[in-house]
Amino acid sequence: MSSPSINEEKENSHRPYGSTSTYPSENVANRPDFVGTRMMDGKEVELHTWNGPDDPDNPFNWSMKYKWILTVTICFISILTGLPAGSYGAGNDYMAARFNVQNEPFPNLYWATCSWNVGAALFPLVFVPLTENTGRMPGYFAAYIIFELFLFGSAFADNFATLVVTRFFGGGASSVSINIVGGSISDVWKGDKARSLPMSLFGFTSVAGIALGPFVGSAIVQIRKPDVGLDAPWRWIYYIQIIYNAALIPMFYLILKETRGDVILASRAAKLRKTTGRPIFAESELEKTSIASQLKISFMRPTKMLLTEPVVIFFTLWISFAWGILFLFFSSVVQTFGANYGFNTFQTGMIQLAITVGALIGTLINPIQDWLYLRTASKNQERPGKPIPEGRLYTSIPGSILFTGGLFMYGWSSQPSIHWIVPTIGVCIVGVGIYSIYMGVVNYLTDAYEKYAASALSAASLGRNAFGAFLPLASFSLFETLGFGWAGSLLGFIGAILSVVPVVLVWKGEEIRRRSPFMLESTYDVEEATERRHSASRRNSMV
């Protein structure tokens, strides 16, 4: 999941009408989409922009109906591409026999989910930034088709190594698709208030898409098929997903259209050049950087932030542990409910629906968080009228406490003498916590780092997918060695320690932001960036 996402270019994507300071030529000065001229390769060219503030091609001006159709569609894509992450494990018993893989005491079959998450961590760093120039739609369809092709590879795998490799690429393509969703939402919904509900929906689908996987996979393997050849139940987990994903591609093609403002303007400028023969260009065409430069920035900046920015470091640890627990439940729920209650694969898949229920509860509560956040605008002395970034964390603090409490409840109530509904409620509470932590991290990093938000989110995504890849490898030994209660307690204690992170940010957030070089430079307003630096220098000299 990782993701999340929201992009640092969201403001630059839709430059306001008349935003450049150049001198219009007399013969085009009365054209509403003309804002001046620039030099390009030693020649003067005309700049093309929106036809005024109400240009219908501007995604911000699209009808409310279509915006919601697009939002629901791309969030549905995030569910579809997230499902295989968790559905895979439902076929463990069949794959262990087919590939002669020993799954206890070490969960060797989990290496295929580990490779999925490693791909999910790495691919967005490389490919998501390219959608800034190529557009969101080519990114969606390229990722979706690659995702579909590697589902084929997994379905027809003849050995376990093939599964590990194909799921690496499938997970990478899935993560690219999910990460583009946040960018599309920021492309069409303008302002924090308008974007709050769409982002809540995206946050829900990011968690639910993965959490629904075990249920979907366990339901599919109930199909009575002989465990031989290409008709084995575990292969049908992939067959069915291949069928419905392929069937939906034409529908997505008919519904979706490009949301990236710069790409729309560049396309219009290209048509004008062709029809008029005049040198008309969109501003993004004049400022393009090479793919090599984009990739360098997409790797170097998140890495630097992950090593030097305390906020990014601790937020990454916070969300990474929560994401690791999400994947750890894929194996631990099977282990605990199988041992204590004799549940089969389908029944444990049903139990894991509790995570999705928890995420849904978090989504229904999230409007309260948005209301609290918007109210902080009247108290902001740094930037009057703009909400305070720490306002994004108010409900994530109790959410993080719920996350911790849910882990304790899950561990200590997983006993044959206690009804199975009690640990299931614990799993649901953990789901509420995972959602609130996810939304708190995504929204805070976006607000605090503004134009560097994509890099901050990439760093967090890298960390959370790495935890999702490797933490669950310890699941069986952890619960087997310590016992269910103490294993849950150990995880709960770690969650409790990390719950301090949002508390410190709410308490000392303004001071922390003043000491961050990235945050001081992150605003799109040049004058404000200068004032931030001067203010920080004055305050630091007084200390």
419 with 404, same domain: the answer is yes
Residue 132 lies inside a defined structural domain of this protein: yes
Say what the pLDDT of residue 15 is.
Answer: 40
Give the containing element (helix H, strand E) for 140. helix 136-155
235 with 327, same domain: the answer is no
Q: In what order do the strands lie in the sheet with 280-282?
A: 34-40, 43-48, 280-282
Looking at 61, 80, 106, which one is the last position of a domain?
A: 61
pTM of the predicted model as reported, rounded to 2 decimal places: 0.85
CA 275 to chain centre: 40
506 with 374, same domain: the answer is yes
Residue 146 lies inside a defined structural domain of this protein: yes
CA 226 to chain centre: 38
What tokens appear for 481 in the block? 């060695």
Work out whether the CA dihedral 90, 94, 97, 100 comes out positive or negative: negative
Looking at 273, 308, 332, which one is the last position of a domain?
A: 273
CA dist., res. 539 & res. 543, Å (int): 7
What's the pLDDT tens digit per position in 491-532? 999 999 999 999 998 888 888 888 887 777 766 444 454 544
Residue 1 lies inside a defined structural domain of this protein: no
The mean pLDDT of 22-27, rounded to a whole number, is 42
What's the pLDDT tens digit per position in 174-213? 999 988 888 888 889 888 788 889 989 999 999 999 999 9
73 with 217, same domain: the answer is yes
Residue 420 lies inside a defined structural domain of this protein: yes
CA dist., res. 492 & res. 494, Å (int): 5
57 with 86, same domain: the answer is no
CA 262 to chain centre: 22
Say what the pLDDT of residue 298 is.
Answer: 73
What's the pLDDT tens digit per position in 362-416? 999 999 999 999 888 888 777 777 888 888 899 999 999 999 999 999 999 999 9
CA dist., res. 137 & res. 180, Å (int): 9
**149: which residues sit within 8 A by CB, 6+ positions away?**
none
Q: What is the mean pLDDT of the chain?
A: 84
164 with 76, same domain: the answer is yes
CA dist., res. 190 & res. 14, Å (int): 10
Around Cβ 270, how many Cβ atoms within 10 Å?
A: 15
Are residues 392 and 447 in contact, defined by beta-carbon separation less than 8 angstroms?
Answer: yes
Residue 478 lies inside a defined structural domain of this protein: yes
322 with 258, same domain: the answer is no
Are residues 436 and 399 in contact, defined by beta-carbon separation less than 8 angstroms?
Answer: yes
Say what the pLDDT of residue 42 is.
Answer: 65
14 pLDDT higher than 60: no
512 with 435, same domain: the answer is yes
Looking at 61, 79, 108, which one is the last position of a domain?
A: 61
CA dist., res. 20 & res. 32, Å (int): 13
CATH of the domain at 100: 1.20.1250.20
Total of domains in the chain: 3
Say what the pLDDT of residue 19 is.
Answer: 37
Are residues 73 and 159 in contact, defined by beta-carbon separation less than 8 angstroms?
Answer: no
Residue 225 lies inside a defined structural domain of this protein: yes
Residue 339 lies inside a defined structural domain of this protein: yes
Lowest-pLDDT range of 128-132, 341-345, 388-392, 457-461 = 128-132
Residue 2 lies inside a defined structural domain of this protein: no
Domain that holds residue 512: 297-542
What's the pLDDT tens digit per position in 298-335? 778 888 888 888 888 999 999 999 999 999 988 889 88
> Helix or strand or coil: residue 57?
coil
What tokens appear for 46 in the block? 């005309």
265 with 334, same domain: the answer is no
